[in-house]
Structure 1
Amino acid sequence: MSSRGGGGFRWEMRPGGMLVQMRSADPEAASSPHVRVRVTCGSSRYEVSVPAQATFGELKKLLATETGLQPAEQRLLHRGKERGNSEFLDACGVKDRSKLVLTEDPSSLERRYIAMRRNAKIQSTRRAIFTMSIEVNKLADQVAAIEKSISDGNKVPEIQITTLIELLMRQAVKLDSIPTEGDTSLQKNVQAKKIQNCVETLDVLKITNSRLQIVVVTSKWESF
């Protein structure tokens, strides 16, 4: 796809969707040789082979696989000047073994920093919920033990039930103070539901337990 713009220039759409100035239909241009450019990015060094008549935008796509930076996150400088995506390498004087400097776009750095902080916060929340889930599971095991004892007709001291309810409520308060987002909200809700079920079970067991009679086991001894 091509079109003619102001100033007599012709433009073409590259496969990647980039609009660049159309090259002349010169057979020698069509067989443009490759050049190896040396790109410095911080303490890292890259050497990339690219057609001499490629654009800086196309070079960025090649560098994306090397650096992990998306083309929109890259800024390419040649001879101390930032080059636009539609500029051609050879037109800007890029030759074999030319040196370029790659930096990350400041706005991209800021987004990356925000994403890192958010991920760190999520990981911290996951650890907090996981640690709490261990404690909740221990309390749930105690609830199950009391439930079995009462179902077998054995009365348990009421203080055991009330203490267990208090411990579960403390966990509920701690859980409620943990800020969550994303999938951690679901994990938090799972633990909150487990605590609620345990408390409701203990409330029912408390009533059942109060109706049980303490069984006193005695032994009769015969004299011989």
Structure 2
Amino acid sequence: MSTSHKISVHCPYKLQKCIVDIPADNSFGDLKVLVSERIGIEPRFFKLVFRGRERSEGDALYAAGVKDGSKVVVVETEEYLQKRRKELTSHGLFDDVPMEEDSQAGAPAVAEEHDEVKRQIEAIRGEVDDLNAQVRELQESAQSGPPSDAGDSRADSDKKLKIVMELLTQKLLKLDSLDASGSA
């Protein structure tokens, strides 16, 4: 039993809003078991994707950066999709359409969403590059040695550095908030 504090993890699956409370030091495998109970699919039939990457069951939530309120996307495996398709087809509830044609139906919307996320990332990258240039300037001025009134200059440099660090933190938070999960 874990003694770690609990975090709430959002695990969207289709139209379900699955929120799981789990100790922060648990693994993705533990999360997978809890999600499985909520959505009714065996753990072997889905993957968990966090920040655009599939996570293995042994990965620790805290080590991957999962925090209270984080979103971990549930993605069905190909095996599950084929199994489900066979079940529906055998009951006459689904026309037997090849998987390739079926998956292409939503491709334009996904591509458009992907392009929008790409644009947002590029905009943030430009802002981070500007901040990086400011950091370099501050480093160069610090390395060039103190001018005659070092006290005032040092205080100004520290203040500028704190401002740049805060701006960088804001950009990273902005990047983290982008929904880049797609259909991984």
**Taking CA–CA contacts closer than 8 Å with sequence separation of 6 or more, which of the two structures ends up with the larger relative contact order?**
2
Larger strand share, 1 or 2: 1
How does the TM-score come out when normalised to structure 2? 0.47
How does the TM-score come out when normalised to structure 1? 0.39
